[in-house]
Amino acid sequence: MGIQAEVQLLEAPNQLRKRTLSLEAREGEAIIEVLACGLCHTDLGFANGSVAPKHPLPLVLGHEVVGTIVEGARVGRRVLVPAVMGCGRCAYCLAGRDNACPKQVMPGNDAHGGFATHMVVREAALVPLDDAPADLDLRELSVVADAVSTAYQATSRAALAEGDVAIVVGAGGVGGFLAQIARARGARVIALDVDRARLERISSFAEVMPIDGRPAKELRKEVQRLTAGVPSLRHRVFECSGTTAGQQLAYALIGAAATMVQVGYCREPVELRLSNLMAFDATVHGSWGAPLSAFTEVLRLVFEKKVVLTPFVTHAPLSSLDALLDDMTHHRLDKRAVLDPRA
């Protein structure tokens, strides 16, 4: 029957306009009434033109969505929309690697996203929120679609186990949630960041280390001192800053038989000596989003309050999107913004 959606439409780089789109759900699709959508640095890259989305402009951005099905097979059900949705049929999906599916759909990148009152998605990919505690603000679950689930997948890629040391470079956004998840998995967590406020916010979950412009060699020695007695075989280094300096630092922290996971995105090329991996017999993984199978455990951690959301998010109306993107550009936004499309 179709629905009229009020959206923030990116018509050209740095040109967001409020528009109305007519949405139609095809077979296998559902229309979601958006309760909230998180704002991510990926959205900033698309919005300012520094990163090209796969879908040509105009495009509705936003890939951290929670809402209610208003058209489809399960009308009325509250759901989470994963940031990465595989086709469900290819070799990658059948192997449980749907987050690497060549035909994957990322809202706000491959198709219209959640900076809107409504959006269209493949219904089979939706994650039910039937078990959400009554005292949990469902809007905050929007960040689970990407920031929290991406952090969880990174710890899984690293095979992080109880007694390991998780070294998190970049404690804001994904890094803050990764520190919590690593702690919940029984690891000792050391978080490094240039921002002392981020470190203070995460200090109940991690030992914190201000970078303060110190060279990588000095930071490496301090990490080695803190982890004396734990062989680097059990070190898991997570690069979450998405900066050139952060990637170089994380790589410098790799020791013998250690594992590094690249989580953050950096557009600029980074110069590294790959022979270090050979010399250390070390392992480096990439990690992109999370497979659908991960969400049951991710939500359990949130529902049991082993991962907390409220201190790490801020609420704002969708109408303030331009101002929030400017705040993000100038590093004035220190929490994950959760946007209400009705305001």
What pLDDT is stored for residue 263 in this prediction?
A: 97
What would the mean pLDDT of 109-125 be, rounded to a whole number? 97
Residue 106 has pLDDT above 70, yes or no: yes
What pLDDT is stored for residue 343 in this prediction?
A: 82
Whether 178 and 152 share a structural domain: yes
Whether 275 and 174 share a structural domain: yes
Could you tell me how far CA 57 lies from the centroid of its own chain? 23
Question: Over the chain, what is the mean pLDDT?
Answer: 96
Whether 31 and 84 share a structural domain: yes
What would the mean pLDDT of 86-106 be, rounded to a whole number? 96
What pLDDT is stored for residue 142 in this prediction?
A: 98
What pLDDT is stored for residue 294 in this prediction?
A: 97
> In whole angstroms, what is the distance from residue 309 CA to residue 220 CA?
30
Residue 107 has pLDDT above 80, yes or no: yes
What pLDDT is stored for residue 1 in this prediction?
A: 62
Residue 2 has pLDDT above 80, yes or no: no
Whether 31 and 119 share a structural domain: yes
Residues spanned by the domain of 109: 3-146+290-340
Whether 185 and 256 share a structural domain: yes
SS3 sequence of the chain: CCEEEEEEEEEECCEEEEEEEEECCCCCEEEEEEEEEECCHHHHHHHHCCCCCCCCCCEECCCEEEEEEEECCCCCCEEEECCCECCCCCHHHHCCCHHHCCCCECECCCECCCCECEEEEEHHHCEECCCCCCCCCHHHHHHHHCHHHHHHHHHHHCCCCCCCEEEEECCCCHHHHHHHHHHHCCCEEEEEECCHHHHHHHCCCCEEEECCCCCHHHHHHHHHHHCCCCCHHHEEEEECCCCHHHHHHHHHCCCCCCEEEECCCCCCCCCCCCHHHHHHCCEEEECCCCCHHHHHHHHHHHHCCCCCCHHHEEEEEHHHHHHHHHHHHCCCCCCEEEEECCC
CATH number for position 25: 3.90.180.10
Whether 78 and 133 share a structural domain: yes
| Model pLDDT for residues 152-191, shown as the tens digit of each residue | 999 999 999 999 999 999 998 999 999 999 999 999 999 9
> In whole angstroms, what is the distance from residue 337 CA to residue 139 CA?
11
Q: Is 20 exposed, middle or buried (0-12, 13-18, 19+ CB in 10 A)?
A: exposed
What pLDDT is stored for residue 104 in this prediction?
A: 96
Residue 4 has pLDDT above 70, yes or no: yes
What pLDDT is stored for residue 319 in this prediction?
A: 96
Amino acid at 150: T
Whether 136 and 38 share a structural domain: yes
| Model pLDDT for residues 28-85, shown as the tens digit of each residue | 999 999 999 999 999 999 999 999 999 999 999 999 999 999 999 999 999 999 999 9
What pLDDT is stored for residue 200 in this prediction?
A: 95
| Model pLDDT for residues 311-343, shown as the tens digit of each residue | 999 999 999 999 999 999 998 988 999 999 998
| Model pLDDT for residues 206-233, shown as the tens digit of each residue | 999 999 999 999 999 999 999 999 999 9
Torsion of the alpha carbons at 151, 157, 162 and 165, rounded to the nearest 10: -80
What pLDDT is stored for residue 267 in this prediction?
A: 85
Whether 36 and 130 share a structural domain: yes
User: Structurally, how many domains does the chain consist of?
Assistant: 2
Whether 37 and 138 share a structural domain: yes
CATH number for position 253: 3.40.50.720
Residue 270 has pLDDT above 70, yes or no: yes
What would the mean pLDDT of 142-151 be, rounded to a whole number? 98
What pLDDT is stored for residue 138 in this prediction?
A: 96
